[in-house]
Structure 1
Amino acid sequence: MLDFEGSRNEFLNLLAEMGEEPAFVARARAPELALDGLLQSCLAKRDELLRWPQFHFSILASRVQRDWSRLSRWMKGSDAVRRLENLDAELSLPQSPRPSWIVRDRSALQRFVESGTRFNIHWQDFLECLDLEAVNRPRHDFNRYYVIEKACAFGSERFCQDFIPLDMIDHPFLIRRFPPLQLPELA
């Protein structure tokens, strides 16, 4: 089958040709796949929870024709208009619904802020309740076994000198990655 004259490198190449990969390669890929899956799941849930705030924001934007300064008298803080401009970039829908002629600027603003506040509460709850074991187990295993598996594959630990252990994923990481909406404060 295999003779003992070949090098480890030839053996690793043979494994690759046969569709197999060394354990250390799979070990390095697993944390990335787990994190990508978690981030995609969070993004999908965030998009789902943002539907109503986006709807209310679109009505507000259409109502004031994106002239956010029209709303400044009903908001506190000098950065309120800037917050709405930032939200415009984050929440814009391709096609805005037509606002009802009954809806006034202030009530549209209030509906959006209330909807955004509910989103922030539900989003925070969602992130804090996530079980991070599925994403942290591959990271833990990578930190524990990667160097050993790579050293065994290459027959030397010198190929592992640049190893950097992975940090565990925690809820603050997810909140930084997917922050709550920065809503203006109503006066």
Structure 2
Amino acid sequence: MSRLNYQTARFLTSAPTLAACPPDSGSEVAFAGRSNAGKSSAINALTRQKALARTSKTPGRTQLINFFALGEESERRLVDLPGYGFAKVPEQVKLEWQRHLSDYLQRRASLRGLVLVMDVRHPLTEFDQTLLGWADDKAMPVHILLTKADKLKRGAAASALQQVRSRLREWEDLVSIQLFSSLKGQGIEEVHARLDAWLLD
């Protein structure tokens, strides 16, 4: 079975709106999550690059849709969506961003799946559930990463995983869930297998 080399990921472009995104061809997988859920760290861990996605001490700095191409061609892409729940952003800006996010998720034809990043200690926030609703409307598969799994003892992490699974039982045909730790490299192979399935389909 062919496998993609995620270490070849390179920055392609940033877009403030759907209209400014790269051509809507090929296939891409988007990463979404709350500002402090560890989304940038997860992308960096998956591509084994320290600074591909910018990690920031100030949550919510990523307010553009960032595209990363895999390999020389730009036909397979990873997409870093704006961290939602920006800490210090006016309500108007938040609503604007929500609109761009919704536009992208609902109208981007090359989007094959969504990786939803949640802190294992604070899963299924209101906005996580909104995103799951958007994905459900479009029958878009979602793979949930419960990040920072290293912050919990093994039993507590397994129990958190079980709780999220049972809360999302109605969506089990579309949603898969795993524990993940950027720090320990836990779960990377599992995510690669999921991305390969989507991007090489």
TM-score bucket of the superposed structures, by smaller chain: under 0.3
Give the structure with the higher percent strand: 2
TM-score, normalised by the number of residues in structure 1: 0.20
TM-score, normalised by the number of residues in structure 2: 0.19
Q: Quick one: higher RCO (CA 8 Å, sep 6+), 1 or 2? A: 1
